[in-house]
Chains A and B, each alone.
Chain A
Amino acid sequence: MTTTQYSTSQASSGASGRKTKAPPPPRRRRRTVNGVEPPGLIMRAIKGVVLTAACAAVVLPFLGILSTSISSPEHVTRNGGFVILPDTLNFGAYQSILSGGVVTQALAVSGFVTIAGTLLSLFVTSLLGYALARPGAFGMKAMLLLVLFSLLFSPGMIPSYLVVKEVGLIDSLWALIVPSLVSGFNVIVIRAFFSQIPSELLESARIDGAGEWQIFSRICLPLSKAVLAVIGLFYAVSYWNAFFNALLYLNDSAKWPLQLVLRTYVVNNAQLDQGDLSGVMESMPPQPSIQMAILVLSLVPILIVYPFLQKHFAKGVLTGAVKG
């Protein structure tokens, strides 16, 4: 993804022969960069407009959400509930939702599910990937087939629901973690990475008396920090974003994660009142500011991990696509 068709070197076509003869008329010869004719002025203008519009379509909503959440109540009301630029820095909406109540609780639930889920997922996935990277060991070929086949066919919504119910996870926070703990795709990616570690390295550790656990934790894991980071971030994003499984498995609204609160109070526009917030404020900030503050809270963790994700994700996606 790093190479472009146009680089700095000027490839010249038709440059030979220029010494002896007069140069051909300039409009007959195509000026090229790495073999491609550079775009004309109109094409470049169109390109600029299209890409600017695409970027604005992403940036503008974010700006509006942030601005609405920190603007003064009068400013928000005057503009019909959504402003693009803030007039002041007013964190009243954040204070009211973070001082206890529904949103604070949901934030804690989402935080717990994301952190516990990601750590457990990484641990179990990398252990399985390590074992499967040893096709000579007992049963590993069969297990690899089982993992691969699971990618082809998903059991379906109702059978999955029934299994979670039979296991007794309904209305438990673990229902958000355990069923999605192992992703077959990630197992395959980690296995592919472990398989590339030179066997001499492991052989020498074995000769020095290291057991499987030591080889796994002291050699394989440190060598695969990058791929573990990518997979961990992908797991974390999917735990943080999970909405439907909470709707399916949790009837008790006290256990709702942030995404479900977001759906209830922002998408479905349910009224949040003083009781839901249990804040100590004398006056409630306007509803739109509170809604946008909830939205910002649900966005912030993604925005924080995004730079790290971005550094590695292309690599992760391509590893999966090629080696899977």
Chain B
Amino acid sequence: MSIETRRKPPSPLGETTTPVKRRKQSWWQRMWRDRMLLAFALPGMVLLLLFHYVALLGNVIAFKDYQPFLGIWESVWTGLENFDVLFNGDPDFLNALRNTLVLTFIQTVFVFPVPIVLALLLNSLLSERIKKLVQSILYLPHFLSWVIVVAIFQQMFGGSGMVNNFLRSNGWAALDILGNPDTFFALLTSQVIWKDTGWGTILFLAALSQIDSSLYEATAVDGAGRWRQLWHITLPGLRGIIILLLILKLGDSLSVGFEQIILQQAAVGVQASEVLDTYVYNNGIVGGSWGVSTAVGLVKGLIGVVLVLAANKIAHAFGENGVYKA
């Protein structure tokens, strides 16, 4: 290793040119110098630009009367006409918005704390082997697709599923669990809990293992019991990660369970199950009102970004790290 490389701040993969004489190079020279790396980056960047950034530009049809046979550019500009649905309160849109917000609220209250409790339970297990076994069982559902999860729920709770077979064989009436619009949100919530609780414990378990165990010993000497330790040491130790995950959840608060709902919408009807994402799909791609659905999707995306940025600011204001430093 030469002295020159030591003197310079180390760049991650080293320098392509020798740092001895650094004349200002022109753009073309630098491009030519790094042509190999640029070629490496090219396929990935082209795909990202096309399917992300060009697609982002495709949102212009929110301001147009998009006709598939005319194409994006030939379609007529209509200004904010497509946004009338939002401003004038179209009943279908309002219903979708209300369902989305209610579902997000329910899932934040009932789904979010479950992995924390499970992580505390797992963390307090004395036997390392039992802990590993329980973890490997509970993580599994996370890797199943929603199609499989919904199919499994049908086998358990459907008309000829396990629960109803049991009820019938004991002379009780069968329950309509999957097709009841009144309990649909509870069904969705329990599916989310079944699928993602185990997986959700990973980050909490990692945070728990970071807590300094001398804190527990010191408080035990001072006479603190298990519950006081939980309240004064464990939960404060989890505060950072809880806030981080809540921020991320807030950014996603307008998109809940799209695939999950699309798969089960037929059983309970649109009124009980429509959320913003399914509204965009049903009206745009199925129904053909491209402009209106794009407008709804665009506003939804913008609100999501604003929510994340705002929540991040608030977290910083309270002295927490948040998602990023800006």
Contacts and interface: CB of A to CB of B under 8 A. Distances in A.
A159 B59 contact: yes
A179 to B, nearest CB: 5
Contacts of A3: 209
A317 interface: yes
Interface in B267-325: 277, 280-281, 284-285, 290, 293-294, 297-298, 300-301, 304-305, 308
Contacts of B213: 5, 34-35
B225 A58 contact: no
A196 B59 CA distance: 39
Nearest to A139: B38
Nearest to A127: B40
A218 interface: no
Interface in A175-209: 178-179, 181-182, 184, 187, 194-197, 199-200, 202-203, 206
A138 B33 contact: yes
Interface residues of A, number: 118
A155 B57 CA distance: 8
A150 interface: yes
A5 B123 contact: yes
B306 to A, nearest CB: 11
B226 interface: yes
B131 interface: yes
A105 interface: no
Given A4-B123, A80-B160, A127-B43, A248 B285 contact: yes
Contact of A244 (B121, B125, B131, B258): B258
B70 interface: no
B37 interface: yes
Interface string A204-238: 00100001110010000000000000000000010
Nearest to B156: A61
A283 interface: no
Interface string A94-133: 0000000000000000000000000000001101101111
7 residue pairs, one from A and one from B, having the closest CB atoms: A35-B216, A128-B44, A159-B58, A35-B217, A241-B145, A155-B55, A131-B41
Given A137-B16, A138-B31, A317-B203, A61 B155 contact: yes
A263 B146 CA distance: 10
Nearest to A220: B13
Contact of A162 (B72, B160, B280): B72
Given A5-B208, A82-B162, A163-B55, 18 more contacts: A13-B221, A34-B217, A36-B124, A38-B126, A47-B125, A64-B156, A65-B152, A127-B40, A131-B40, A136-B15, A156-B55, A156-B301, A178-B51, A197-B12, A262-B148, A267-B150, A267-B263, A295-B152
Contact of A30 (B57, B220, B258): B220
Contacts of A196: 12
Contact of B59 (A2, A152, A156): A156
10 contacts: A36-B124, A82-B160, A127-B41, A131-B41, A150-B53, A158-B58, A158-B61, A179-B51, A244-B262, A291-B151
A88 interface: no
Contacts of B148: 241, 259, 262, 295, 298-299
B183 interface: no
B217 A47 contact: no
Interface in A16-65: 30, 32-39, 47, 50-51, 54-55, 57-59, 61, 64-65
Contact of A35 (B15, B49, B56, B215): B215
B10 to A, nearest CB: 5
Interface of A: 1-6, 11, 13-14, 30, 32-39, 47, 50-51, 54-55, 57-59, 61, 64-65, 68, 79-82, 84, 124-125, 127-128, 130-140, 143, 146-147, 150, 152-164, 166-167, 178-179, 181-182, 184, 187, 194-197, 199-200, 202-203, 206, 211-213, 216, 237, 240-244, 247-248, 259-260, 262-263, 266-268, 288, 291-292, 295, 298-299, 302, 306, 309-310, 313-314, 317-318, 321
B80 interface: no
A58 B137 contact: yes
B40 A163 contact: no
B290 A158 contact: yes
A36 B220 contact: yes
A39 B151 contact: no
Interface residues of B, number: 112
Interface of B: 1, 5, 10-16, 27, 30-31, 33-34, 36-38, 40-41, 43-45, 47-59, 61, 72, 118, 121-126, 128, 131, 134, 136-141, 143-148, 150-152, 154-156, 160-162, 165, 168, 194, 197-198, 202-203, 205-206, 208-209, 213-221, 223, 225-226, 229, 258-259, 262-263, 266, 277, 280-281, 284-285, 290, 293-294, 297-298, 300-301, 304-305, 308
Nearest to A292: B155
A200 B1 contact: yes
A241 B47 CA distance: 21
A295 B152 CA distance: 9
B147 A146 contact: no
Contacts, number: 325
Contact of A237 (B31, B143, B150, B165): B143
Contacts of A318: 202-203, 206
A137 B37 contact: yes
Contacts of B208: 5
B121 A50 contact: yes
A204 to B, nearest CB: 8
A137 B217 contact: no
Contact of A202 (B13, B216, B220): B13
Nearest to B218: A35
B47 A124 contact: yes
